[in-house]
Amino acid sequence: MEFLTTYLIIMTATFVALISPGPDFLITMRNALGVGRASGIATAIGVGAAIATHVAYSAFGIALIISQSVLVFNIIKYLGAAYLIYCGVMALWSKGWDMAAAQAKAKNKDKSLKRSFVEGFVTNVLNPKATLFFLALFTQVLTPDTPLSWQVAYGLSLMIMVAAWFSFVAVVLTHETIRKKLSAVSIWIDRVTGGLFIALGLKVALSKIN
C-alpha cells in the first residue's frame, strides 16, 4: 500500500508538471517540425532518458547536497541558462523549414536521430526547473529505507511516461495536415520558439533560490 500511494503521488505530480509547456516541449516541437517525426520521437526518448539522472541523484542523496549548496545549484542553473539561450539564438537564425527540407535532413538519419536524442537529454538535464522539481518531490517521498526495487520502479515508470508524452506530441505535430499548415508559417514558429528559449534562459539565469 505504501508503494502504491507513493507511486501515485510521484506519477500524478510529474504528469501535471509535464503537460505545462517548457524547454522539453519546445525542443521536441522544433525537432519534430523542423526535421521530422522520427527526430521528434528521438528527442522525446532523450528527455525521458534524462529523467533517470534526476531519479539517480535523488536516490543517492546528491539531491540533498544540491539543495543545500548554492554554488552547486548555481553551476547547474547557469549551464542550463546558457544552453537555453544557445538554443534560442540558433532558432532565431533559422530560415524556417518545409517538407522538402525536412526530408533532405532526414537522409542522414542516424546522425539526425543521435543529435535529436542528445538535444532532448541535455535540455532536460540542464533544466534547473526540473532539478528543483525532483528535489522537492523526491526528498519528500524517498528515504534511506526506500527499497531499491521501488526506486527503480519509480524511475522506469517516469522515464516511460515522459518519453511517451513527448512522443505523442511529436506524432500529433507531424500529422500531415497539421504539419503542412505549420510549414507555411515555419519561420515565425522558429522566431517565437527562439524568443521563448532566450526568455526562459534569462529567467533561469536571474532566478534565485528561495
Tell me what pLDDT residue 181 has. 66
| CA separation, residue 128 to residues 11, 75, 117, 137 (Å) | 20, 10, 19, 14
Q: Give residue-wise pLDDT tens across range 15-48.
A: 877 877 788 988 898 888 888 889 999 999 999 9
Residue 95 lies inside a defined structural domain of this protein: yes
pLDDT confidence tier of residue 208, bands split at 50, 70 and 90? low
Number of structural domains in the chain: 1
Task: Examine residue 48 and state whether it is found in any structural domain, yes or no.
Answer: yes
Please report the pLDDT score of residue 101 as a whole number.
54
Mean pLDDT of all residues in the chain?
79
**Which whole number is the average pLDDT over 42-64?**
86
The percent of residues above 90 in pLDDT, for the chain, comes to 20
CA dihedral 143, 146, 152, 153 (to 10 degrees): -110
125 located within any domain: yes
pLDDT tens-digit series, residues 68-117:
777 777 787 787 678 778 777 877 776 655 555 555 555 555 558 899 99
In a domain? residue 179: yes
Count CB-CB contacts under 10 A for residue 85. Answer: 19
Categorize the per-residue pLDDT at 183 as very low, low, confident or very high, splitting at 50, 70 and 90. low
Q: Is the confidence at residue 144, as pLDDT, over 80?
A: no
The Cα 186–Cα 206 span in angstroms is 30
**Position 14 in a domain:** no
Q: Which structural domain, as residue segments, surrounds residue 181?
A: 35-206
- Predicted TM-score (pTM) of the model is 0.71
- pLDDT value, residue 197: 73
pLDDT beyond 70 at 133: yes
* Termini Cα distance of the chain: 34
